[in-house]
Amino acid sequence: MLEKGSKAPDFTLCDKDGREVSLSDFAGSKVVLYFYPRDNTPGCSRQACAFAAAYNDFKTLGVQVIGISKDSTASHEKFAQKYSLPFILLSDPERKAIEAYGVWQEKKNYGKISMGVVRTTFVIDENGLIEKVMPKVKPDTNAAEILAYLKGE
């Protein structure tokens, strides 16, 4: 997994509408980049809703929120509509960004070992450097923790 102070790898992925979005599009702005396992699962839905509820606070701070998973653009579109998600969701079915950020890892679930996305949030500064890494975050508190960090609380 990437560490604080590392250069954030650039990527170009499609959003829910099929438009290409690159990390470099947001140069000069802070970005909260969060990786999550799957659309419409209980934890991922709660995490997305928490980011949506705090979205105006992120906007006020001039911070862009981007969520990335392996789900298709069509899945993202339904997910965003179902929960009225105002931020960018990017589709990474080939795991380009997921692997570049080191969040594709071995996971244990009910004793079964498999590979998957470890729920992780990165804060990327205006110069494209990783300012903060939060691995294995809790879906219910992640957005509030990031917001408190950004506000210096």
Task: State the catalytic residues.
Answer: 44
Using CA atoms, how far apart are residues 53 and 62, in angstroms rounded to an integer?
A: 16
| β-pairing verdict for 63-69 and 120-124 | unpaired
Q: Can you tell me the distance from the alpha carbon of 143 to that of 79, in angstroms, rounded to the nearest whole number? A: 18
Question: DSSP string covering 115-130, please?
Answer: EEE--EEEEE-TTSBE
Instruction: Please answer whether residues 32 and 125 qualify as being in contact, where contact means their C-beta atoms are separated by less than 8 angstroms.
Output: no
Q: How many CB atoms lie within 10 A of CB 115?
A: 10
